[in-house]
């Protein structure tokens, strides 16, 4: 009985410590969100969202070109980084039980902990300077893609390892080729974790500033060309916040609110889409089982 009371007390203490840690983590986040909404919301209107940046603090200035630039940078980086990261995670998890797989995993872990400014320097040396592309959208997307790859690869590997091994063994026992078993069974069952890792990577690169200073540079004009400098929300926030102008300072807070809203919108949209597809697949499976039982 005393042993039961002691375990119950330890459990209560551990639960209390865990709850305290959660509160300590959530309170600063809530405070930041409140401050961003309180200061940034007054700066947001239709003109602010559709006009281009000028950096002068004059009336009619906005962040429209920065929003476009951020979406393009994230889109190009995702097109480069997501496939490489997902297939790297698949290889390491399903086919990487060898020296080469261990080496890939090791360098993935190292790359995940690289400072973003170092990745920016690498992209500058390789794309901007060596390949002579210059400051451009494609150079910025290349730097952001490098940041994405280890995040997506590691989360994909962990998601695949969480899938029960019985599914893998059952598929192979039925004569399904390993390649098809991985793509049609393992990856489908791990899709929630893969999507979560992809969203985490998108949220990470959407707020990066240092690599873009060395690669995409900045532009006060509307631009969608892959080979021209381009504006972005993180750089706009960085430039305006360091300005002595009160107008530009408030615009920096407004841009921060827009950036947070874009990231939240992407996360919520994908989550809702994943939930609706999961419900639909369960409904189809239930209907198929009902028909099978009726035939039997």
Instruction: For residue range 219-255, list pLDDT tens digits in order.
Output: 888 888 888 899 899 988 888 887 777 888 888 888 8
Closest to 215 in 3D by CA, of 203, 229, 233, 204: 229
Would the pLDDT of 277 be above 60?
Answer: no
pLDDT score for 96: 75
What tens digit of pLDDT does each residue of 81-104 get? 999 999 999 888 888 788 888 888
284: left (phi over 0), alpha (psi -120 to 50) or beta: alpha
Residue 85's contacts (CB-CB under 8 Å, 6 or more residues apart) are 148, 149, 150, 151, 152, 153, 156, 197, 198, 201
Q: For the residues 146-173, what does the mean pLDDT come to? A: 85
Whole-angstrom Cα distance, residue 150 to residue 108? 5
Residues in the chain: 296
The answer to whether 89 touches 105, Cβ cutoff 8 Å, is: no
The class that CATH gives domain 43-52+65-287 is mainly alpha
pLDDT score for 57: 67
The widest CA-to-CA distance across the chain, in whole angstroms, is 78
pTM exceeding 0.85: no
Whole-angstrom Cα distance, residue 232 to residue 70? 5
* Burial class for 283, CB neighbours closer than 10 Å (0-12, 13-18, 19+): exposed
Would the pLDDT of 267 be above 50?
Answer: yes
pLDDT score for 282: 52
CA dihedral (166, 168, 173, 176) positive or negative: positive
Helix (H, G, I), strand (E, B) or coil at 7: helix
Q: For the residues 207-218, what does the mean pLDDT come to? A: 88
pLDDT score for 278: 56
pLDDT score for 72: 93
State both tokens at 159. 């998601």
Q: For the residues 172-177, what does the mean pLDDT come to? A: 78
Whole-angstrom Cα distance, residue 48 to residue 145? 29
Q: What are the residue ranges of helices labelled H in the chain?
A: 2-40, 46-50, 64-90, 99-112, 116-123, 137-162, 165-173, 178-181, 187-189, 191-206, 210-214, 233-241, 246-295
The answer to whether 123 touches 147, Cβ cutoff 8 Å, is: no
Would the pLDDT of 144 be above 50?
Answer: yes
Range of lowest pLDDT (4-8, 40-44, 93-97, 271-275)? 271-275
State both tokens at 296. 């039997």
Question: Binning pLDDT at 50, 70 and 90, where does residue 284 land?
Answer: very low
State both tokens at 197. 């890792």
Whole-angstrom Cα distance, residue 234 to residue 68? 12
Whole-angstrom Cα distance, residue 278 to residue 78? 24
pLDDT score for 285: 44
pLDDT score for 86: 92
DSSP string, 29-98: HHHHHHHHHHHHGGG-SHHHHHSPP-SS--TT---HHHHHHHHHHHHHHHHHHHHHHHHHHHIIIII--S
Residue 19's contacts (CB-CB under 8 Å, 6 or more residues apart) are none
């Amino acid at each position: 009985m005393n042993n039961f009371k002691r375990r119950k007390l330890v459990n209560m203490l551990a639960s209390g410590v865990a709850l305290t840690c959660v509160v300590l983590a959530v309170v600063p986040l809530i405070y930041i969100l409140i401050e961003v909404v309180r200061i940034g919301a007054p700066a947001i209107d239709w003109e602010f969202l559709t006009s281009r940046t000028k950096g002068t603090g004059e009336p009619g200035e906005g962040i429209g070109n920065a929003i476009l630039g951020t979406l393009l940078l994230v889109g190009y980086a995702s097109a480069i980084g997501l496939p490489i990261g997902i297939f790297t995670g698949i290889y390491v998890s399903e086919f990487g039980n060898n020296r080469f797989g261990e080496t890939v995993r090791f360098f993935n872990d190292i790359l995940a902990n690289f400072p973003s400014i170092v990745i920016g320097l690498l992209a500058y040396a390789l794309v901007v300077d060596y390949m002579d592309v210059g400051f451009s959208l494609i150079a910025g997307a290349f730097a952001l893609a490098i940041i994405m790859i280890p995040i997506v690869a590691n989360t994909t590997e962990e998601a695949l390892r969480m899938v029960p091994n019985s599914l893998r063994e059952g598929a192979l026992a039925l004569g399904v080729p390993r390649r098809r078993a991985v793509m049609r069974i393992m990856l489908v069952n791990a899709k929630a974790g893969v999507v979560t890792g992809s969203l985490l990577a998108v949220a990470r690169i959407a707020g990066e500033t240092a690599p873009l200073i060395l690669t995409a540079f900045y532009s006060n004009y509307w631009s969608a060309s892959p080979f021209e400098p381009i504006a972005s929300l993180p750089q706009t926030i960085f430039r305006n916040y360091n300005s002595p102008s009160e107008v530009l300072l408030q615009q920096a807070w407004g841009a921060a609110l827009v950036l947070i809203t874009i990231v939240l919108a992407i996360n919520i949209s994908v989550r809702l889409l994943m939930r609706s597809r999961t419900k639909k697949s369960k409904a189809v499976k239930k209907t198929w089982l009902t028909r099978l039982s009726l035939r039997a």
